[in-house]
Amino acid sequence: MIHNKVVLVTGGAGFIGSNSCEALLNNGNKVVCFDNFSTGNKKNIKDFLSSPAFTLFEGDVRNPDDCQRAVKGADLVLHLAALGSVPRSINDPVSTNAVNISGFLNMLVAARDQGIKRFVYAASSSTYGDSTSLPKVEEVIGKPLSPYAVTKYVNELYADVFHRCYGIDTIGLRYFNVFGRKQDPNGAYAAVIPKFVMQLMQHESPVINGDGKFSRDFTYIDNVLQINLLALSTTNSAALNTVYNVAFGESTTLNELVACLKEIAAEYDSRISSIPIIHGPNRAGDIPHSLASIEKAKQLLNYTPQYSLKAGLKDSVKWYWENL
């Protein structure tokens, strides 16, 4: 695994970002966290602020000068800064485009100018769009179904072009429904798992969009951390300048998810087992089913995810119970 490097983590105060900062620090690296705290939170990085190996750079990827200053002195870039959420992008496509495309381009230019050799970035399973093939294989995608999906696909195109034109080695990681500790349960665009956990803890009925038969490949954060570090450290030239699915490789319906969450949470509060579930309308831009093939990541990056959905949910519920 990677060690003794200076790694710039954009969006380092966010959910995946702060966990990545911790993993990199634990492996003996120096970390520069670049965040504007629009969606990230200082409480996610409070445990690192006193570390001499950790530097906080407060700035915005939409500002080219901030990007240049943040990258200076780094060996590697892990670019996680983005405005996530399909509904957010539908409500405000301009802001999503500015952060996810213009900000991404600013970071690539800064990496080129500062001589960065490895640029690993967060891609997205939303890139598969209206493709109905299952499992999702990296080389078979459809048309995007949301502005967010457009931005994440453009990231892949820009990364490929920058390798071809400027020689920067890039790796895109198509994350599939990541969940785990430090994921924010609050706000209009909260992810489904932390939102459901919080509702159950408060004895509120979770609201499932649609009939609950839509399925997802839910991916625990520790699986993501494994592949983030592998992508930053791999010496396999065949593994570079491409994209990978990041998932566990199992499909779970929303109905099954909520049933599992209720079972786990009821171990802390037995009243949760009797909370009814509410079904609402389908959400615009949602794909019906998502299941990843992770064979490419296994073969080229030696990715071996350790946490199943249930194992990850047990750890997540415990964390929320102790921290909310």
Q: Which residues are catalytic?
A: 148
Distance from chain centroid for Cα 32: 18
Per the listing, tokens 């087992």 go with 273
Distance from chain centroid for Cα 90: 19
Report the distance separating Cα 198 and Cα 195, nearest Å.
5
Report the distance separating Cα 170 and Cα 168, nearest Å.
6
Residue 63 DSSP label: S
Transcribe 33-50 into DSSP letters: EEE--SS--GGGTTTTTT
The C-alpha angle 14, 18, 24, rounded to 5 degrees, equals 145
For the CA atoms of 108, 110, 115, 116, what is the dihedral angle to 10 degrees? -50
Per the listing, tokens 């309308």 go with 281
Rounded to 10°, the helix 221-233/309-323 angle is 110
